[in-house]
Chains A and B, each alone.
Chain A
Amino acid sequence: MTGRAEFSLQGRRAFYFALLLAPPLLWLGIVYLGSLFTLLLQSFYAIDEFTARIVPEFTLATYRQLLTRPAHVDIILRTLLMAVAVTMAAAVIAFPVALYMARYAGPRTKALFYVGVMLPMWTSYLVKVYAWRLILAKQGIASWGFEHLGLMGALDKALAVPVVGGPSLASSYIGMFVVFVYMWLPFMILPLAAALERVPASLLQASADLGARPGQTFRNVVLPLALPGLAAGSIFTFSLTLGDYIIPSVVGAPGYFIGMMVYQQQGTAGNLPLAAAFSVVPIVLIGLYLMLARRLGAFDAL
């Protein structure tokens, strides 16, 4: 009797769980993963150069094209370098902010900081990008600021640097870098602050108690325990930079980025296999990055 009652109770629970989980699983499994899989499948097809039709036969020709044409390799390297630079800059800028928020700020200041970090995310992404184009324009407020601080010479020198420089901040890689860092900074600060907040104060006291100077405590205790947060944040900044196509098309030098290439190839050019192959690149790069982070012990403290 009781056995049957338990069984029916368990059966009912399983039914309710299935009911709750079905919509998200269908969404994730079929709509999202399914379309991702078809996209990946496309990358193993090739386009017929004459008819511009996709030939649904397995081939590595598209990948060969992706990795051998210098223009394509340039796009990949350019995007990768920008993603690495943006991630490193965001980490360096975010760390002190996150540390202050997590460990030193009083409750009110902390709330103020959290709002301050998240507030920009409430504004439209496009509005912010175009605003930055105006800020960085030749007659914009940035160069006005440099002029009034007497730093115009420094700005001109920076813009004169080959490759990263350009006629103005708005049309150089330096400007693009600034916008990327600004855009993704909250995604670095928030996981980092969360990780730092989880470090018990007694660990820092124990370190000092055992004779570690503040710098040693930072290197030996704070930094290793913040690594999972740093890894999480850098995955955001890294993958967001790899995939973005709006910032590179609105601000900065005319060179193509992976996201722009995907957008263009699947749209105007109609080369779906090449677009698909390009979109595989960030996935592979992020996979490699995660493996590297794991190797370096970023997740050991989890």
Chain B
Amino acid sequence: MPRAEPTFDMTPAIELRATRRAFGSVIALDSVSLAIAPGEFFALLGPSGSGKTTCLRLIAGFDQPDSGTILLDGEDVTNTPPFARNVNTVFQDYALFPHMTVAENVAYGLRVRGIAAAGRAQQAAAMLDLVQLGEFGARRPHQLSGGQRQRVALARALINRPKVLLLDEPLGALDLKLREEMQSELKGLQQRLGITFVFVTHDQGEALSMADRVAVFSQGRVEQLDTPRELYNRPQTAFVASFVGSANVVGRDAAQVLTGSGHAFAIRPELIELLAAGEPAPDGSVQCSGEVVNVLYHGASSRLRVKVDERTTLAVAWSESTGGGVPGLTTGARVRLAWRPEYAVPLRD
């Protein structure tokens, strides 16, 4: 359930109250309310078209809501233009000015505020040092690699000392290794500066590893707003269960067959136990049996898909080192499954 009220006592750095934005007949954001604490690393997670980017654009001021209120630091900024908001953005394509040097790009925020050239250059140099690009000030953006451009965009956005930094898919254009590096770098930077970071991503791994709290968006609504741990362990809807990590979502009808309770639930593949032939199931566990549909070997573990009834197939993670020697794990084999009832997370409909 999306929490409308902040769970902290301070004035939120950002607050959205019943914010709605539609483009023609498409509702991009459907009455979203959320509050972000000062100094928080906050992720807006969702598939494309879920409303997360619209939400970010509304906070930055590039777009206005059809109804609802946006507050920054307790102040209503719903109709404040972007240049008058104490918020800065790192754009998905970095949006560096091609006709300026790297140092001029970084100093831009100071220049438009009328700060003298000498002071500007000094601060820009310090900022470039902060992102480890001290020697690149005289270059043009097109002479830098993707990762370096990303850092320039970061330095440029931070030079105005914003209360809030918005990041739009900041790592989307980087390759895997660089992305992991930047993840820990961003996290470290945020902790050092103590600025509120709000970032948009469609990558659940990124959201889980970096954010303090995550708002999961789907179809213009916040499906769940929680810490990464809660989100992973206690998904509240089928969407969150399957989007964050991967979980078996068992609908009401299938649950009726498997547990006799008729309440939809989700269970992580790694919490389902694979029983050897003749091995008794632990006391009180839910049991079922089925046929292996396929086996995918992942190195540390394998993933089986087991068909337990006509319409239900469960994914089961199985590790050779911890799962014991269950023989004959090939397609078509009959296996028995069991899990502790408390591992099954009940879902809202």
Contact = CB atoms under 8 A, between A and B. Distances in A.
B82 A209 contact: yes
Given A216-B112, A220-B108, A220-B112, A206 B89 contact: yes
Given A205-B91, A206-B91, A220-B112, A213 B99 contact: no
Contacts of B82: 205, 208-209
Contact of B112 (A203, A205, A210, A301): A210
A210 B108 contact: yes
A203 B112 CA distance: 15
B93 interface: yes
Contacts of A249: none
B62 interface: yes
28 contacts: A200-B93, A202-B91, A202-B93, A205-B82, A206-B89, A206-B91, A206-B97, A206-B156, A207-B108, A207-B112, A208-B81, A208-B83, A209-B60, A209-B87, A210-B83, A210-B109, A210-B156, A210-B157, A210-B160, A211-B109, A211-B160, A213-B83, A213-B112, A216-B112, A220-B111, A220-B112, A225-B99, A300-B99
Interface in B72-115: 81-83, 87-89, 91-93, 95-99, 108-109, 111-113
Interface in A224-246: 224-225
A220 B112 CA distance: 9
Interface of A: 200, 202-203, 205-213, 216, 220-221, 224-225, 300-301
A104 to B, nearest CB: 16
A207 B108 CA distance: 8
Given A200-B93, A210-B109, A205 B98 contact: no
A212 to B, nearest CB: 4
Nearest to B57: A205
Q: Which residue, A209, A221, A224, has most C-beta atoms of chain B within 10 A?
A: A209
B138 to A, nearest CB: 14
A203 B97 CA distance: 7
Contacts of A216: 112
A202 B62 CA distance: 10
Given A200-B93, A202-B91, A209-B82, 19 more contacts: A202-B95, A203-B95, A206-B96, A207-B97, A207-B108, A207-B112, A208-B81, A209-B60, A209-B61, A209-B62, A209-B83, A209-B157, A210-B83, A210-B109, A211-B109, A211-B160, A213-B83, A224-B99, A301-B99
